Amino acid sequence: MIKIEDGVSFADRAETYYRKKPEIEKRIEEFRRLYRSLAEYCSHFFDRSSISSLSARFEGSNVDYKKLSTSDSNPESGIEDPELESHMKRESANGVSMSSNLIAKGRTSSFDRRISCVDRLSDLIEENWIHTNELVRRLENKREANKELRDSRVEKLVRENKMLQEEHSKLHILLLGWGGVGDSQSAECKHCLQDWVRGKEKKRHCPKRFPLYILPSLLTNSSLLDSALNTLSLSLSLSLCRKLEAEAEGHSHFNSDKIEKLPGQPQISFLHYAGYITVDSLKQRALFYYFAESEIDPASKPLVLWLNGGPGCSSVGVGAFSENGPFRPSGHVLVRNEYSWNKEANMLYLESPAGVGFSYSSDPSFYEGVDDKMTARDNLVFLQNWFAKFPQYKDRDLYITGESYAGHYVPQLAQLMVEFNKKGKFFNLKGIALGNPVLEFSTDFNSRAEFFWSHGLISDTTYKIFTRACNYSRYVSEYYSGSLSPICERVMSQVTKETSRFVDKYDVTLDVCLSSVLSQSKVLIPHQVGEQIDVCVEDETVNYLNRKDVQDALHARLTGVTKWAVCSSVLEYELLNLQIPTIAVVGSLIKSGVPVMIYSGDQDSVIPLTGSRSLVQRLASELGLKTSVPYRVWFEGKQVGGWTQVYGEMLSFATIRGASHEAPFSQPERSLVLFRAFLAGRPLPETFE
C-alpha cells in the first residue's frame, strides 16, 4: 500500500506515485483475476454436468467421468470417446433414482455454497472498490499537487521576468534615452561605465551627451551597475548577431552575382556585384544592374540608386563606367576613378527600362510604346526584388539620383515609393538629386535659345526668330508628332548651321571626339586640348563592355541584340511623354517630406541652367519656401565650384562650374563635393577648404 507519508512534499509524492505505479497496476490485475476465478467457481454449482459428475462420483461408477465431462477447460469432452458413451447409456437406467436424490441434495448443497460465494464475492468487490477509490483519490491528490507546484513556479518566473523587464526599461531610459545610442556607441557606453568602476578618467570613453549624472547612483547600487553593464553587453551582442545573420542570409542569395574580378581591373578594397532582377510575373523582363559597395565602411553608408536618361540610355555604360563609378576603361584595362561616388555611398546603377544595355524582354513586343509609368513600375519592382537579394540594405537610407531624362524617371519612381509606404513603410527614402533634368518641357527647352545666344553660338537675328517665330519646344513637339511646319524647319536649319555640327550641345567648351557615344542626341562630342579628361572615354566603354570576357565577369548576356550600345536601338519609347511636366511631382515629394536637390552643369546647352533655376524659384514660391541660403558661390578646394541657393530645408539648387550635361564626367571633383554635401544634408562650402 502507498502511504501518504511516503512523500514529504508534493514533488516527492509525485515521484513516489510514478515509482509505485507498476505495483498498483499489478495489484489491480490480481483483483481482476481473483474476481473472474470466483465467478467461474460459483457458476460451477449451477451447471447440470457438474451435478451429474458428482452423482457419478458418489456412485463410484465412473471415476474418470468428471475429467471427461464438458467444461471450459476440455473442449473435446463427450463426443470423441465411444466406450464412455456406451457406458453412460448402460448405467443410465440404474442411476435414475440415485441421481434424483443426489440432485436434490446437490441443490441444497449448491445453494449453501452459492450463498457463501456471493458473500465472499461481495466482500472482495467491496474491498476492491475501496482500494480503487483510494488509489484514484491519491492520484487526484498528486495531480493537484503537481499542478499547484507548477503554477507556483510559473507565477514566480512571471514575477521575476516582470521585475527584470521593469529594471531593463529603467536602464534603457537612463542609458539610452538621452538622444539614442547606436550600435557603435553601445561599446563606448560600456567602456565609460567600466572606467568609472576602475577609477580611471571619467570621460575618456564616454560618447557625446552620455548622461554622466547617473553614474554616482549606479556606483552606489552594485546590482544596478551590473545590470547596466550586462544590458549594454547584451545590446552589443544582439546587434552583432543581427548583423552577422543579415550578412549570412544576404550572401547566401547574392554570392552568385558577386564579381570576382573584371578583366584589367586594379586591386580594390570593396565588393561589387552585377546581375539580373526579374520585374514581371511571367519572368519575361529582367533588368541588369551593377552595384559597387562603398570603399570605406559600407555597413554605415547609404544606398544610392543612379539612373541615366535618354530615354533609353545605359546607367551602367554612362553612369558607372564614364561618370561617377569606380572605374573607367583605358584600352584593355580599367583605371580607378579618384572621385568615384562610392567613396561616400553604396552605388547601384540600373539599366532601365528593358531593352536598354543588357536589360531585356523575351517578348520583343514590349519594346513598342514603353512610357514613363511602365518604367516607374518596373523600377519599383526591381528595387523590391533587389532588396530581397540584398536584405541588409532594405532599411538603409536610400537616395535616388540621375540626370537628363531621369528628371522624369526619378520623381515618378519616388512618388510610387511614397504611395507604397502609406500602406506600410518599405522604402527608407531620404532624398532625390537631379542633374540637368527635364522637368518642364517648354521652360527647359526654350531656354536653349538664350544659352546659344549668350555664348555666341547664334546671331542676334537667329536668336529673335528662334524665340518668336518658332521656339525649340514647338519644334520638338511638331517633329515627334510628325507635323513639322515649314517655318520651324527653316528656323532649326538656321540654328543648326550657326551652332555647327562640330560643337557638342552637351558641353559647348570642348573639341570633338569623333564617334563618341556621349551623343545621346546624335551629335558629335568635343575634345578640349590640354584638359585631363578623356572625352572619348565612352568609346572605350563601348569597346570594353562588348568584350566576351567582360560580359562573363559581369554575369551579363546579350538578348535580342548582337552588340551592347550606350543608347538602345530596339526600344521605341513614347517620346510624347517628354511634354508631360514632372515639376509638380517634385513639389508633391517636397510636401511629403522628401528633400530635393537640382543641379546644373553650366556648359550644357541641352537642358540649360537658366531653365532649371527658373523652375526651382517658381516651385519654392508656390510651396511658400523661404530662402535659407541666398544665391552665392560655393567652393571646391581653393576654386569656385559653382553657385547655389537653398529654400528652407527641403529644396536646393546649385550649378557646377565648367561642367557639362554629364557633370560627374567633366567635373568629377566638384561633383563629388556636391554629392557629399547632398548626402550630409548641409549647404555647399562657402569658404576655401
Give catalytic residues, as residue numbers: 404, 604, 661
Return the closest-CA partner of residue 436 out of 658, 627, 685, 659. 659
Rounded to 5 degrees, what are φ and ψ at 214?
-85, -15
Cβ atoms of 195 and 204 within 8 Å: the answer is yes
CA 527: distance to chain centroid? 46
Q: Which residues contact 367 (CB under 8 A, 6 or more apart)?
A: 354, 355, 361, 570, 571, 572
Between CA 315 and CA 323 the distance in angstroms is: 10
Cβ atoms of 609 and 655 within 8 Å: the answer is yes
Return the closest-CA partner of residue 81 out of 91, 67, 93. 67
- The region that residue 681 occupies, defined by phi over 0 for left and psi between -120 and 50 for alpha, beta otherwise, is left
**Long-range contacts of range 411-416, CB-CB < 8 Å, 24 or more positions apart?**
411/582, 411/585, 411/586, 411/589, 412/372, 412/373, 412/375, 412/376, 412/582, 412/585, 413/307, 413/376, 413/379, 413/380, 414/585, 414/589, 414/594, 415/376, 415/585, 415/588, 415/589, 416/376, 416/377, 416/380
Buried b (16+ CB within 10 A) or exposed e, 611-647: bbbebbbebbeeeebeeebeeeebbbeeeebbbbbbb
Rounded to 5 degrees, what are φ and ψ at 398?
-120, 130
Strands 368-370 and 572-573 come out as parallel
Rounded to 5 degrees, what are φ and ψ at 470?
-160, 105
Rounded to 5 degrees, what are φ and ψ at 630?
-60, 160
Between CA 430 and CA 450 the distance in angstroms is: 35
Strands 303-307 and 346-351 come out as parallel
Reduced to 3 states (helix: H, G, I; strand: E, B; else coil), residue 93 is coil
**Long-range contacts of range 274-277, CB-CB < 8 Å, 24 or more positions apart?**
274/554, 274/555, 274/556, 275/555, 276/358, 276/359, 276/555, 277/382, 277/385, 277/386, 277/389
Q: Which helix (H) or strand (E) holds 421?
A: helix 406-421
Q: How far is CA 351 from CA 290, 308, 566, in A?
A: 9, 8, 10
Cβ atoms of 316 and 351 within 8 Å: the answer is yes
